[in-house]
Each structure stands twice: as C-alpha cells, then as structure tokens.
C-alpha cells in the first residue's frame, strides 16, 4: 500500500510517498481504507525527532493520527462497526500511521462517522476535538456560566475549544490574531482579543478557566485573572508546566495539563455534536498525498486556520 514515509528525522523534505506492507488485523482491531487524514503539530514534532526518547521501532516511519474511512474487516471481538461502516477516529501512541491507504486501528479508537460529514471534515476533528473536550471537561471541570479564555483560539484545538466551551454553556473570550477575529466570533466567542492589536489581558474580567492552547502563558502570568477556584489548563508538557502542576496541587487556583487519549465514547460525543450541527469542522485546505511536504511546511508556520487535511480518496497509481 502507499503511505507517507520518512527514513530519518528532519525537515519536511524527508517525507516521501512509498510502499508499505498491508497491516494485519488482530482481535480488537479494525482494518480501514483511509479516505482522509489530518495533520497536527504532533506530526511535526515527531518527524523532527523531538520525542525520540519516547519512540521505538525501525525506520521508515509514517505519520498521521487522525483518520476517516471505510471499514474493510474487523477482528472477532469488534461489534460496533463492520465491513462497509464509515468511521473516523484517532490512533493513540507516539508513532503516526494514518497518512496511508490502509490502517489498522484499535476498536476503541474508532467511531461511526456522522453521515452528514465528508471524510475530509470527519478526519479534521478527532485529535483536536478530543483535546478540547478532555481539556475543558476533565481538566478544567467546566460548568455552565463559567467564563472561559481560549488562548490560541483559531488553530486546530482552539476552533474546537471555542465551540465545545459554548456547548457546556460557558462564556468564551478568544485570543487570536486580528486576521482571525471574525472566525472566532462566528464559532461562538462572546469577546475576542486580537493579541497583535491590544494587550489581551488588560481590562479582562475574572476567568474561571484559562485554556492555554498555544502554550505561551504560564499559570503565573495569568494568576491575577483567575477567579477563586480558577483553573489554568495547558497543552504543553514542558518542565515549567509540570512543576506548576505539582506546585499548585493544593492551591485554590490550580494548573492542569491535558494529554489527549483517543476513546470511543468521546469520539461518539463529538460525532453527535457534529451530526446535529452544533460542532463544525474548520478546514483551511485539503492536500493530496503527494503534497505532504507542502502540508507539513504549512503546519510548521503555526499560522493554520483550523486544520490541514490530507485526502487519500483517489486510488494511487502502482509503481
């Protein structure tokens, strides 16, 4: 099968489309013909070797964690999908593999795709949607009426976080560049602070949940904004943030870290919201598999509006 491969850590130019053996199916797994995948900052970080101590296995390696496609076969213990089911999901683990014609995913990483969504739309959501949901619900313990700030509101996680915070009944303030103000408002932000035009925290009222999606604020920098039981949630597991988790464990205003995990119940929740039109994917551009280097270059700019999707719908020519 065709797959995106790389033979060493490095820049986007190490990526190539090559051949891989078809993956084999085990008891609780699903074999999927992938129609679309999407990119995340994790793809860039892993390709550069930033997590090399947490990875094992030989090169060549592939990339991609998000997928949408059609089930070809299921293991004997899988009952919620079968051959012909249209599915979407995210694979756990450090090594990506969804930018490929075929994929074997764990049953719990796979849910039925909302019928009203294209494969491209469905593939754009899992990793960022799960991150936003798990950050706000599990780490931020978000409640109706909470005042929530999303810092980095116009990228993959941020566009999901605005909408999901609204679905929990929160009042959202989005922080993004002025170019993306209208997008943040359209997604449901009550207030938008453009960091390239104003100092975003000046005059800001109390905050119950500060979700630092972009990762350039610590709990110390926003401490004065947090309400009595204010929660700060970050996406970045860097040392300073890990120390703050420990240091604020018994404090009123606590720091939290989200580490996204794919699971069927949460994928199904995202699917229900999307099916009923309450959560909408935001896609900047769909790339073909042969454009994977360009797509990674764009991802590296940290300027993507929503998501970059890789289409695998067109069968690729054999060598």
Ligand X SMILES: NC(=O)c1ccc[n+]([C@@H]2O[C@H](COP(=O)([O-])OP(=O)(O)OC[C@H]3O[C@@H](n4cnc5c(N)ncnc54)[C@H](OP(=O)(O)O)[C@@H]3O)[C@@H](O)[C@H]2O)c1
Contacting positions for ligand X (CB under 6 A): 40-42, 128, 131, 151-152, 154-158, 175-177, 179-180, 195, 213-216, 235-236, 258-260, 302-305
Least CB distance from residue 153 to ligand X, whole Å? Answer: 7
Q: Are 298 and 43 in contact (CB under 8 A)?
A: no
Judged by beta carbon, residue 111 or residue 192, the one nearer ligand X is: 192
- Alpha carbon distance 170, 28 (integer Å): 38
State both tokens at 53: 């101590």
Q: How far is the CB of 199 from ligand X (least distance, A)?
A: 12
Taking the complex as a whole, the smallest distance from the CB of residue 168 to ligand X amounts, in Å, to 19
- The residue of the chain with the least Cβ separation from ligand X equals 155
Tell me the C-alpha to C-alpha distance, in Å, between residue 223 and each of 4, 158, 189, 229, 252. Answer: 43, 21, 22, 11, 11
Burial of 297 (0-12, 13-18, 19+ CB in 10 A): middle
Q: Which is nearer to ligand X, 22 or 54 (CB)?
A: 54
Q: Which is nearer to ligand X, 75 or 215 (CB)?
A: 215
CB of 202 to ligand X, least distance (A): 15
Nearer to ligand X (CB atom), residue 102 or residue 211: 211
Asked if 307 and 128 touch (Cβ cutoff 8 Å), the reply is yes
258 vs 283 by CB, closer to ligand X: 258
Residue 284 DSSP SS3: strand
Instruction: Please report, for residues 56, 226, 243, 245, 299, the alpha-carbon distance to residue 252 in angstroms, rounded to integers and kept in the order given.
Output: 40, 10, 16, 12, 37
Q: Hey, which residues does 142 pair with through a beta bridge?
A: none
- For the CB of residue 306, give the shortest distance to ligand X in the complex, in Å: 7
> Shortest distance, CB of residue 109 to ligand X, whole angstroms?
15
Q: Which is nearer to ligand X, 65 or 102 (CB)?
A: 65
Q: For the beta carbon of residue 24, count every other beta carbon within 10 angstroms.
A: 8
Nearer to ligand X, 71 or 309 (CB): 309
C-alpha 35/C-alpha 56 separation (Å) is 27
C-beta of 62 vs 151, nearer to ligand X:
151
Q: How far is the CB of 133 from ligand X (least distance, A)?
A: 11
Question: Is residue 177 within 8 Å of 155, Cβ to Cβ?
Answer: no
Shortest Å, Cβ 316 to ligand X: 27
| Cα–Cα distance, 164 to 138 (Å, whole number) | 13
In total, the chain counts a number of residues equal to 319
């Amino acid at each position: 099968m065709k797959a995106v491969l790389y033979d060493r850590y490095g820049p986007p130019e190490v990526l190539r489309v090559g051949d891989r053996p078809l993956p084999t199916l085990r008891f609780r797994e699903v074999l999927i013909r992938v129609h679309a995948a999407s990119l995340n900052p994790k793809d860039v970080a892993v390709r550069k070797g930033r997590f090399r101590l947490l990875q094992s296995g030989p090169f060549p390696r592939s990339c991609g964690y998000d997928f949408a496609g059609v089930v070809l076969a299921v293991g004997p213990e899988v009952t919620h999908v079968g051959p012909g089911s249209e599915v979407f999901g995210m694979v756990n683990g450090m090594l990506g593999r969804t930018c490929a014609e075929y994929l074997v995913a764990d049953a719990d990483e796979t849910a039925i795709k909302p019928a009203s969504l294209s494969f491209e739309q469905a593939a754009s959501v899992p990793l960022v949607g799960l991150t936003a949901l798990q950050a706000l619900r599990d780490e931020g313990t978000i409640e109706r009426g909470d005042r929530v700030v999303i810092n980095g509101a116009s990228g993959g996680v941020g566009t999901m976080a605005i909408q999901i915070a609204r679905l929990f009944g929160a009042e959202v303030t989005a922080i993004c560049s002025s170019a993306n103000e209208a997008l943040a408002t359209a997604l449901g932000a009550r207030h938008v602070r453009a960091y390239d035009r104003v100092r975003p925290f000046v005059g800001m009222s109390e905050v119950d949940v500060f979700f630092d999606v972009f990762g350039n604020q610590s709990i110390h920098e926003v401490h004065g904004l947090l309400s009595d039981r204010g929660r700060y949630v970050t996406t970045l597991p860097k040392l300073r943030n890990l120390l703050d988790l420990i240091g604020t464990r018994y404090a009123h205003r606590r720091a939290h870290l989200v580490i996204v995990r794919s699971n069927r119940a949460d994928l199904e929740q995202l699917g229900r919201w999307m099916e009923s039109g309450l959560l909408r994917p935001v896609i900047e551009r769909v790339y073909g598999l042969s454009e994977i280097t360009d797509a990674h270059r764009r991802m590296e700019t940290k300027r993507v509006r929503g998501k970059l999707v890789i289409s695998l719908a067109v069968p690729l020519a054999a060598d």
